Amino acid sequence: MPQGLSEAEQIARFAHERLRVAVTGVEAIPSGIGLRRFYRLRLLGAPGSAIARIDTPEDSASRPADAAPEPPLEPVRALLERSGLPVPRRYAADPARGIELLEDAGSESLSDAFASRAREEGEALVAAALDLVPRMQRLVDDRSGVAAFGRRLDAALFRYKAELFAGTSIAHALGRPPSAAESGVVTEAFDWIAAHCARAPQRFAHRDFQSQNLILRRGPEATLTMIDLQGAFLAPPEYDLVCLLRDSYLDLPEPLVRRECGRIRPALPDAPTPGDFALRFELLTLTRKGKDHARFLRASQRGDLRYRRFLAPTAAMLRRAAGRTRDVAAPLARLAELVGALPEEPRCAP
């Protein structure tokens, strides 16, 4: 791109060249914990607006050592679009420069809607989102080069989550770095969970199927659009359900979680038995929320206090899941003791 222009100016020029419409405004969209940057472009002519998605090299701390970076958005977005699943349209792209121009589906996320709308409407939106999970799990490799079918929630990813949780969250709870034995408790438990989950059916998973990645499309009807798709992989059938039903940004009431689990479980392609489903759901809660707790804490320690308020509900989810699984195996019982040390309220980061 031309030198001397700001990133927003470069994006505006690229959009004008590719879409052949005038760009009347470029607004930066606040980003999440990740490193991608987003802009909303106002256009003089159809489609009226667009989202510019800018990829940046991943922080080495954001993935396991020796793991490859996340795949690009294409062709997984196109696969979901061909399959009738709700994803943003793609207007233009320059993969060499990490730029995607995508449909602007709106700015109201499911977490925003759940907080601002009547309870019945919010719960109906959660149910509508969960209805997408069985549809995604029926996707099969169509040989179009979708990387998700060669990626899975494997032992290395579970080990990464264990190291992140022990080195960040447990360290903070103890007020000191964990001993080798204490870190080993987390590692052994997460290794046990990895081995247990490896025996489960492996299905297509969005991987970050949480409320901030579900956008209410503008229009007369409230319909949802999925974003942040590039991390998709194969995982046990409960994985995406855990992402949403144990979403720290929603902190759903337990009766709603139980009701929706009971509704969705038999609709999954593998229809897991109630016992298998319930156990994997809690085990994946431990590993997923352990990773989330550590990332929220790290963000807070860097001075990004947006995530501090999610530490307490996330710790509560971890304590409940640890209590429900502690009698399943000795490594889980030892993990429950450490999880119990997580503070109920966030403390000031050291």
User: 């901030």: which residue's tokens?
Assistant: 212
Write down the domain spans for the chain. Answer: 1-104, 105-350
Pick from 69, 49, 71: which is nearest to 229 by CA?
71
CB 322 within 8 A of CB 333: no
The bridge status of strand 214-217 relative to strand 223-226 is: antiparallel
Amino acid (1-letter code) at residue 44:
L
- The rounded distance, in Å, linking the Cα atoms of 314 and 317 is 5
Looking at the chain, the number of H-run helices and the number of E-run strands are 13, 9
pTM of the model: 0.93
Q: Give, in order, the Cα–Cα distances in Å from 88 to each of 43, 49, 104, 219, 308.
A: 17, 12, 7, 14, 30
The pLDDT of residue 238: 98
The pLDDT of residue 66: 43
Cα angle: 80, vertex 227, 266; to 5 degrees: 60
Amino acid (1-letter code) at residue 280:
R
- The rounded distance, in Å, linking the Cα atoms of 159 and 269 is 28
130 Cα distance to chain centroid: 14
| pLDDT block averages, 10 residues each, the chain of length 350 | 79 95 95 86 95 73 54 96 97 91 95 95 97 98 97 98 98 96 98 98 98 88 91 98 98 96 98 98 98 96 94 97 98 97 70
Phi, psi of 44 (to 5 degrees): -90, 85
- The rounded distance, in Å, linking the Cα atoms of 155 and 161 is 10
The pLDDT of residue 220: 66
- The rounded distance, in Å, linking the Cα atoms of 349 and 83 is 45
- The rounded distance, in Å, linking the Cα atoms of 119 and 124 is 9
The pLDDT of residue 5: 86
Pick from 349, 341, 339, 345: which is nearest to 319 by CA?
339
Fold of 105-350: Aminoglycoside 3'-phosphotransferase; Chain: A, domain 2 (3.90.1200)
Describe the chain by its helix, strand, coil percentages, rounded to 5: 50, 15, 35
Q: Give, in order, the Cα–Cα distances in Å from 212 to each of 109, 301, 320, 337.
A: 5, 22, 23, 32
Beta bridge partners of 29: 38
CB 177 within 8 A of CB 171: yes
Amino acid (1-letter code) at residue 247:
D
Fold of 1-104: Phosphorylase Kinase; domain 1 (3.30.200)
**Tokens at residue 274, please?**
């109630």
